[in-house]
Amino acid sequence: MQSETTTESWDLNTLLEWLYVNRVRVGVTSAAVAVILAGVSLFTWKKTQDEVKANAELFALPPLVGANAKAAPARAEDFQKVAQDFPDTRAAERAELLAAGILFGDGKYAEAQKGFAKFLEQREASPLQAQAAIGVAASLEAQGKTAEAIAKYQDVISKYPGQNIISPAKLTLARLLEGQNKPEEALKLYADLTRSNNPYDPWSAEAGERRELLLQKYPNLKPVPPAMAVPPAPSATISTSQPPAKP
């Protein structure tokens, strides 16, 4: 059985970095990488018997990252069963979100959307609400419902400021706005992301690359450097005084 310590070592930031690096191999968009495993971010929970049992069941399931190629793949129904058996636990919250993420990874976008939406409706007090919200947005995007996805990403950004999912949400929103022929709005989001003080921020790096490509495509959007101040020319004055009389 996978140890609790090992599982806790995969915090949310580690998972986001792993998924970003492997985003092509796992076949998800830059925003969805924040969704598939974001639910395993661990929080302090009350050590009741049900919680202990629920976590034991959850940790016993196949891992979603770092798994041996020969190991059985993680199945959504296995995580759903943990949530059903221990409904009032934090482990159930993570299990529900993971199940929806697996459905997304399996290409079952409509089912994933329902799972994320159900989580938002029934787990209003959960600290994982932001992850579920971006899950809905990514599911809408994957189904080709671009206008709805844009609205949902905008809602996520405004509703959950400071959350780890904001950067990937902004990056994907900017990409979608590009596709909707709204380069000015996309450029603002890219510029915002590039202001990160973290030189190792993958979202900032990608935003910088996409910003440069966008400016190459729309050179008229390049910021105009302020013109150098030119001092005004002295105004010519005409003297009206008479020359002094000759002695």
Q: What is the mean pLDDT of each run of 10 residues along the chain (247 residues)?
A: 39 45 46 49 48 62 53 77 80 86 89 95 91 92 94 95 89 94 96 87 90 93 68 56 56
Cβ atoms of 86 and 50 within 8 Å: the answer is: yes
pTM attached to this predicted model? 0.69
Query: What is the residue-wise DSSP string for 88-127?
Result: TSHHHHHHHHHHHHHHHHTT-HHHHHHHHHHHHHH-TT-T
Q: CA of 100: how far to CAs of 78, 86, 119, 167, in Å?
A: 11, 17, 9, 21
CATH fold of the domain at 4-160: 1.25.40
pLDDT of residue 17: 46
pLDDT value for 101: 86
CA separation, residue 133 to residues 64, 149, 158 (Å)? 20, 11, 12
Q: What's at 195, amino acid-wise?
A: R
Per domain, the residue ranges of the chain are 4-160
What pLDDT does residue 84 have? 83
